[in-house]
Amino acid sequence: MARDTTDETPLTSYHQMVEYLEAGNKPREDFRIGTEHEKFAFFADDHSPVPYEGERSISALLNGMADKIDWEPITDAGKIIGLAAKSGGGAISLEPGGQFELSGAPLENIHLTCSESNQHLRHLQEVAEPMGIKFVGLGGSPKWTIEETPRMPKSRYDIMTNYMPKVGTQGLDMMYRTCTIQVNLDFSSELDMRKKMQASMKLQPLSTVLFASSPFTNGKPNGLLSWRGDIWRDTDNARAGILPCVFEGNFSFEKYVEWALDVPMYFVLRDGKYHDVTHVTFRQFRDGALKGEIPNPEPTLGDWTNHLSTVFPDVRLKQFIEMRGADGGPWKRICALPAFWVGLLYDDNAMSDALELTKDWTYEDVLGLRDQVPRDGFKCEIAGRPLLDVARDALEISKSGLRSRAIMNETGSDETYFLQPLEEIIASGRTPAEELLSLYHGEWNGSVDPIFEKYAY
């Protein structure tokens, strides 16, 4: 998320919280695709992390990008922490460890999404190369210890850093040493939202396998294929993971609100200052728990919006739906992730097929799969079927959905073109992480340093 909101509209009723989510309903012709991707910045000469301050730094990159693309700086306590498009169509933000994120504009098709990524990376390279800085796309930081990893000056991250060790064992690693690719998709009604949430929540562990690319920690194999996926198993289980309520036949905006109300908050923003309120849930906040603790202690719509951005289920509901299960990766997989989900969920027949594929999967089935996939990848099964067989079926459904959209580029290719990296992974039966491990044990001679070239942008 690029910028925390300061909408001061009083939150006086329960229905306002439900209506906020309902406001995401839009006609199919207005459906858009918003893609987010994060990458680690490093110095090309020694593969060390890039600090926030200095002539060659994260802040210098942001200032250079501001000059190049004429986006507005986002600041926190006088420090530049991101950029926002003046059109409101996109943003660049920083994750806690300096991970550089593009939150893309809402676009009509995958061709435009890929063009956006190309342009972003080209601009970034033009600014970064004179500083000797490059970027690598992976799910987890392969080499740097958490002590070596820089920390970005964002107030919300200070609150999270203090809180994470109280609620899980891997929260700081999540914050400082992971990267993801995500896609944000629209819905037309509560029923459409329910179908998309249910299909995507069930299939999110498959996404974790298809994009698994975090097998190294502190310069050595960590015994996992998706370290990032495993990290989310014990980051903050009150706000993360697979949500049981989504599996209910009558799942609704109201049920999601009920779940989110009982998740502890991170912060309340008042007059530009972040107040640590991790000791209360949003429901307690509404009931007056912060009176006497913060200025203007009555909740606002901005407080609710910010709270929804700090809950982390594998699929997150806002005024759109966020797919959160995939590791970061190289350029070609930045485009493959949105293509996979758009194919599954933006065509009615494809979405029906996806729901049919997963109809017998229970919450317990999916939770068990979610727990197993970071280590075992395609060796997993669900509901008696090998996950690799499920992956083949899901990819064919996605391809059919993209073919049905029939959106061509200037050379006459439709959006199925962007699924090629996933076709190659499924054909091989090996995750990207297994490819990396094979290189590590082979031609890389037990070193992770070559990864900074192989996966570099």
pLDDT in tens, 367-399: 999 999 999 999 999 999 999 999 999 999 999
- Closest by alpha carbon to 3, among 328, 277, 269, 320? 269
Going by pLDDT thresholds of 50, 70 and 90, the confidence category of residue 106 is very high
Q: How many CB atoms within 10 Å of residue 438?
A: 12
The chain-wide mean pLDDT, for the chain, equals 96
Please check whether residue 170 lies inside any domain of the structure.
yes
The answer to whether the beta carbons of residues 94 and 81 sit under 8 Å apart is yes
How many Å separate Cα 32 from the centre of its chain? Answer: 17
Q: How many CB atoms within 10 Å of residue 223?
A: 11
Going by pLDDT thresholds of 50, 70 and 90, the confidence category of residue 1 is very low
Tell me how far apart the alpha carbons of residues 32 and 370 are, in angstroms, rounded to a whole number.
28
The answer to whether the beta carbons of residues 92 and 98 sit under 8 Å apart is no
Full residue range of the structural domain in which residue 344 is found: 14-454
Please check whether residue 154 lies inside any domain of the structure.
yes
Which one-letter amino acid corresponds to residue 97? G
Please check whether residue 19 lies inside any domain of the structure.
yes
CATH number at residue 447: 3.30.590.20
Please check whether residue 229 lies inside any domain of the structure.
yes
Give tens-digit pLDDT for 214-247: 999 999 999 999 999 999 999 999 999 999 999 9
Query: Residue 7 pLDDT > 80, yes or no?
Result: yes
Please check whether residue 208 lies inside any domain of the structure.
yes
Residue 93 makes CB contacts below 8 A (sequence gap 6+) with 1, 2, 3, 74, 81, 82, 101, 103
- Closest by alpha carbon to 432, among 252, 218, 210? 210
What pLDDT, on a 0 to 100 scale, did the predictor assign at position 3?
Answer: 59
Query: Residue 91 pLDDT > 70, yes or no?
Result: yes
The number of domains in the chain is 1
What Å distances lie between residue 133 and 45, 128, 369, CA to CA? 9, 5, 38
Which one-letter amino acid corresponds to residue 50? V
Give tens-digit pLDDT for 25-77: 999 999 999 999 999 999 999 999 999 999 999 999 999 999 999 899 999 99
Task: Identify the DSSP state of 196.
Answer: H
Give rounded-to-5 percent helix, strand, coil for the chain. Answer: 45, 15, 35
Please check whether residue 1 lies inside any domain of the structure.
no
Query: Residue 350 pLDDT > 90, yes or no?
Result: yes
Going by pLDDT thresholds of 50, 70 and 90, the confidence category of residue 439 is very high
User: In 3-state terms, what secondary structure has residue 180?
Assistant: strand
Please check whether residue 3 lies inside any domain of the structure.
no
Give tens-digit pLDDT for 141-153: 999 999 999 999 9
Tell me how far apart the alpha carbons of residues 93 and 100 are, in angstroms, rounded to a whole number.
6
Mean pLDDT on 320-324: 98
Tell me how far apart the alpha carbons of residues 417 and 419 are, in angstroms, rounded to a whole number.
6
Mean pLDDT on 334-346: 98
Give tens-digit pLDDT for 250-301: 999 999 999 999 999 999 999 989 999 999 999 999 999 999 999 999 999 9
Please check whether residue 82 lies inside any domain of the structure.
yes
- Contacts of 288-297 spanning 24+ positions with Cβ under 8 A: 294/268, 294/270, 295/270, 295/271, 296/270
What pLDDT, on a 0 to 100 scale, did the predictor assign at position 344?
Answer: 98
Least confident range from 87-91, 216-220, 251-255, 446-450: namely 87-91
User: In 3-state terms, what secondary structure has residue 164?
Assistant: helix
Which one-letter amino acid corresponds to residue 398? S
